[in-house]
Structure 1
Amino acid sequence: MLDYFALGILIFAGLFLFYGIILLHDIPYEIAVHRNHPHQDAIHATGWVSLFTLHALWPFLWIWAMAYREDRGWGFGDGKSPLSHITQLEQQLAELQGRVERLEISAGKNRQTPAPSNSDGGI
Structure 2
Amino acid sequence: MNATQWMEDLQKNISDLIARSPAADLERNVRAMMAQGFSRLDLVTREEFDVQADLLARTVARADQLAVQISQLEARINVLEAGQAKPAPAAPAATATAGTAASSATPAASAAPGAPTGVQG
TM-score by length of 2: 0.47
Give 1 or 2 for the bigger CA radius of gyration.
2
Higher relative contact order (CA 8 A, sep 6+): 1
TM-score by length of 1: 0.46
